[in-house]
Amino acid sequence: MSNTNRHPIFDFLEKGLKNADSGLGDRSTYIGSSDIGQCMKKSYLSKTLGEEHNLKQLLIFQRGHVAEGIVKTGLANHPKKIGLKEQVEVKGYGQWTYVQSHIDFLVSFPKEDVILECKSISSPLPDDKPRLSWLYQVQLQLKLAKLQSGRDTRAIILAVNVNTGEYSAFDIEFSEVLLNVALSRASQLWEAVQSKTEPEGEVSDLCAYCSFKTQCSTLQKNGEKLPGEVDAMVTRLKELSPLENEAANLKENIKAFMEAAKIKKGIGAKYSVMMSEIKGRETVSVQFLKANYPEVANKVIEAGKPYKKLKVV
């Protein structure tokens, strides 16, 4: 889908989305729980310089609200009535007065409170585990929520892919170790903001989505200027990347139709499409082998060969 000569309605929508109130107040005046887990440089720059997002980025951000809306509908309409609060603000005290968080959903049961933190994802999570940044965020929420209410509190992180319908949930118990790391990061970030001292960046797979990636010294310090021809190839590769996801979604939709219609060959105006079933390859469960036949596993399991991965940021 091209944005060339886009309709004026999108300019109208972009201004409205930029003007929408997030309900989080002026984030330059406090350290939020989501700031702590992010790259420190990114959090610092967003607080000191502000972030400017284009319409595409704003639309992507809205997926998070969609995921929250799905969870809210399920909670609010459950036959069993529960004590449900949303966007619950919790604040630190004493030396941590500059720390605060907004909990997506707080569900009250007779003997405990449960924090539900919603995350919108567009691809599978690495190792099918919650991101460390999420854990820092939720640990801080657990501590502040319990201090505020005095009740036993636990948390669940819900990761939802609103495009595919895939979902995961992770039960999170309180960890003093993770909390201390989170508070240490909050202190470092607050000191950096107060002293106007830009912290070092933290390179990760999320760098590709950072608003400040083109001016990030951490990303650039070990880089070399690309020749013009190679730079053109990288630019074209970046432009084609979204088409891979679009092609994958189109394939899934076509297969779903053909399965529902019980047809193996479809004839279109320009092209025909055929669907066949390919026999899956035989596989070996490494986990089962290690657990039940460790002596065999030690002899036959070898580490995979390293390979090169290209990422355009």
Q: What is the rounded distance in angstroms from the CA atom of residue 113 to the CA atom of residue 154?
A: 7
Residue 284 lies in a domain: no
Residue linked to tokens 């930029």: 18
pLDDT at position 207 is 82
* Domain-located, residue 242: no
Q: Is 133 exposed, middle or buried (0-12, 13-18, 19+ CB in 10 A)?
A: buried
Q: Are 158 and 171 in contact (CB under 8 A)?
A: no
Q: Is residue 228 part of a domain?
A: no
In a domain, 59, yes or no: yes
Distance CA 13, CA 170 (A): 35
SS3 content of the chain, % helix, strand, coil (to 5): 50, 15, 35
One digit per residue, pLDDT tens: the chain, 313 residues? 555 578 989 899 898 988 876 666 677 889 999 899 889 999 999 999 887 888 888 888 888 889 999 999 999 998 888 889 999 999 998 899 999 999 999 999 999 999 999 999 887 787 788 999 999 999 999 999 999 899 999 999 999 998 888 899 999 999 999 999 999 999 999 999 999 999 998 888 778 778 888 888 888 776 677 778 878 888 888 888 878 888 888 888 888 888 888 888 888 888 888 888 888 788 888 888 888 888 888 888 887 788 777 777 7
**153 lies in some domain:** yes
pLDDT of residue 70: 93
- Residue 97 inside a domain? The answer is yes
Strands (E), 72-175: 83-91, 99-108, 113-120, 153-160, 167-172
Structural domain contains residue 183: yes
The DSSP line for 163-204 is TT--EEEEEE---HHHHHHHHHHHHHHHHHHHHT-PPPP---
According to DSSP, residue 120 is labeled E
> Which residue range(s) make up the domain with 102?
17-220
pLDDT for residue 163: 83
Output the pLDDT for position 177. 95
114 in a structural domain: yes
The tokens for 41 are: 């440089």
Q: How far is CA 294 from CA 19, 28, 95, 300, 304, in A?
A: 60, 54, 52, 10, 18
Q: How many domains are there within the chain? A: 1
- In Å, how far are 119, 181, 182, 186, 311 from 136, measured between CA atoms? 14, 8, 5, 10, 26
Q: Residue 178: which CATH number?
A: 3.90.320.10
Encoded amino acid at 110, one letter: P
Return the pLDDT at 137. 94
Phi, psi of 39 (to 5 degrees): -55, 130
DSSP β-bridge partners for residue 175: none
